[in-house]
Amino acid sequence: MVRRYFIIVFIFSWFFIPQKADAQSVTWLAWTYDDLNGEMIQIDSSGFTHKSVILPKNSNDTYPYNVAVSPQGDRVAYTLTNSNGDVALYVYDLVGDVVLAQFYVPFSNAIDSLNFVARPEIFSPDGSQIAYAYAHQNEWMLSILDINSGGQVVLQTSQQFTGEIPVPMWFDGFTVHVTMVPLAAGGFTSLNSFAWDTLSNTWQTTDFFPVLNADIEPRTSEVIFPALDTRFNDRTNDMLGVGVHYNSVQVYAPNISPLPFPFYVDEINTIDAAYFIQNGERILLQTTQIDGDSYGALSVVERSGAVAGLLPYENLWIERIMDVGDGFVFSTSTTELERFFPTLSGVNSSAIVYVSTTSQIQGNLGQVVFTGIHGTNPRLVWAQDITNRNLPDTTSWGQVGVVSANPPQGVGLSDSFVIGDLARVTPEGNGLNLRDAPSINARTLRQLAEIEILEVVGGPQTADGFVWWQLSDGAITGWAAAGDTSNLWLEVYRGGSLPPPSEAPTLYSPSPNQFIDATTDAIVNFSWSDTPNAEQYALELDTCFTGSCTTAIAFYTNDPYYAEDLTKYGFGDYRWRVVAIDAVGNSYPSEYRNFTFVDSTSSVSPNNNAPILLSPQDGDTIYAFQLSYNGQTFPLVFEWQGMSNVSEYVLEFEDCSNGNCLPLIAFYTPDWSYSVNLFDFGYGYYRWRVVAANAASEWRYLTFTE
For residue 8, what is the enclosing H or E element? helix 6-12
Q: What pLDDT is recorded for position 142? A: 94
DSSP letter assigned to residue 423: E
What is the Cα–Cα distance from 678 to 344, expressed in whole angstroms?
11
pLDDT at 8: 30
Residue 232's pLDDT band (boundaries 50, 70, 90)?
confident
Q: How far is CA 294 from CA 4, 272, 286, 414, in A?
A: 48, 12, 11, 31
pLDDT band at 191 (very low <50, low <70, confident <90, very high): confident
Q: How confident is the model at residue 13 (pLDDT cuts 50, 70, 90)?
A: very low
CB of 129 closer than 8 Å to CB of 154: yes
- Candidates 139, 162, 43, 145; CA nearest to 104 is 145
| Under 8 Å between Cβ of 354 and 25 | no
pLDDT of 308 higher than 90: no
When pLDDT is averaged across residues 592-610 and rounded to a whole number, the result is 64
Counting residues of the chain whose pLDDT is more than 90, the rounded percentage is: 35
If you write DSSP's letter for every residue of 437-474 in order, what string do you get?
SSSTTSPEEEEEPTT-EEEEEEEEEEETTEEEEEEE-S
Q: What pLDDT does 187 receive?
A: 54
| Coil, strand or helix at 335 | helix
315 φψ region: left (φ > 0), alpha (ψ -120 to 50), beta (else):
left
Distance CA 41, CA 507 (A): 41
**Alpha-carbon distance 428 to 490, whole Å?**
9
Same topology, domains 422-492 and 507-590? Answer is no
Q: Residue 242: CB partners within 8 Å, gap ≥ 6?
A: none
**HSE on the CB side for 417, CA within 13 Å?**
34
Burial 531-540 (b: 16+ CB within 10 A, else e): beebeebebb
Going by pLDDT thresholds of 50, 70 and 90, the confidence category of residue 575 is: confident
Residue 666, pLDDT above cutoff 50: yes
Phi, psi (5° rounding) for residue 158?
-150, 165
Q: How much is the pLDDT for 499?
A: 39
- What are the respective helix, strand and coil percentages of the chain, to the nearest 5? 5, 45, 50
Lowest-confidence range among 2-16, 220-234, 287-301, 679-693?
2-16
pLDDT in tens, 491-512: 888 654 333 434 788 888 898 8
State yes or no: pLDDT of 606 exceeds 80. Answer: no
pLDDT in tens, 14-53: 222 333 334 446 889 999 999 999 999 999 998 899 999 9
CB 279 within 8 A of CB 323: yes
Pick the CATH number of 507-590 from 3.40.190.10, 3.30.70.260, 2.40.10.10, 2.60.40.10: 2.60.40.10
Decide if pLDDT at 84 tops 50: yes
Provide the β-strand partners of residue 275: 284
CB 182 within 8 A of CB 164: yes
Residues 100, 103, 105, CA angle at the centre, nearest 5°?
165
The kind and range of the H/E element at 333 are strand 327-333
pLDDT value for 217: 95
Q: What letter does residue 334 receive in the DSSP assignment?
A: H
User: Do 191 and 181 meet the contact criterion of CB atoms below 8 Å apart?
Assistant: yes
Q: Which CATH superfamily is domain 422-492 in?
A: SH3 Domains (2.30.30.40)
Give strand pairing partners of 282.
Answer: 277, 302
pLDDT at 36: 92
How high is the pLDDT of residue 231?
Answer: 78
**pLDDT of 476 above 60:** yes
Contact call for residues 481 and 441 (beta carbons, < 8 A) = no
C-alpha span between 393 and 412 (Å, rounded)? 35
- 115: helix, strand or coil: helix
- Can you give the pLDDT at residue 3? 32
DSSP 253: -
User: What stretch of H or E contains 201?
Assistant: none
pLDDT confidence band for 465 (50 / 70 / 90)? confident
- Could you tell me the maximum CA-CA distance found in the chain, to the nearest angstrom? 89
Residues 6+ apart with CB under 8 A from 428: 483, 487, 488, 489
Question: Who's near 273: CB < 8 A, 6+ residues apart?
Answer: 213, 215, 226, 285, 286, 321
DSSP string, 354-387: EEE-SS--TT---EEEEEPPTT---EEEEEEESS
Residue 236 CA to residue 270 CA, distance in Å, equals 9
Q: Which residue would you say has higher pLDDT here, 641 or 432?
A: 432
Tell me the sheet residues that pair with 536: 581
Q: From 662, 663, 649, select the one nearest 691 (Cα to Cα).
A: 649
End-to-end Cα spacing for the chain: 34
Taking the domain 57-212, which CATH number applies? 2.130.10.120
Q: Which of 116-120, 259-263, 449-453 shows the lowest mean pLDDT across its residues?
A: 449-453
What's the whole-number average pLDDT of the chain?
A: 84
Query: What amino acid occupies position 247?
Result: N
Q: Residue ranges of the domains in the chain?
A: 57-212, 422-492, 507-590
Phi, psi of 568 (to 5 degrees): -70, -15
pTM over 0.85: no
| 442/419 Cα distance (integer angstroms) | 22
Specify the range with the lowest mean pLDDT, choosing from 115-124, 201-210, 573-582.
573-582
Residues listed for the chain: 706
Among 477, 478, 263, 460, residue whose Cα is nearest residue 469: 460
C-alpha span between 48 and 120 (Å, rounded)? 23
Instruction: Decide if pLDDT at 602 tops 70.
Output: no
Q: Are 523 and 501 in contact (CB under 8 A)?
A: no
The dihedral through the CA atoms of 103, 104, 105, 110 has a sign that is positive
Q: What's the mean pLDDT in 316-343?
A: 92
Identify the pLDDT of residue 552.
62
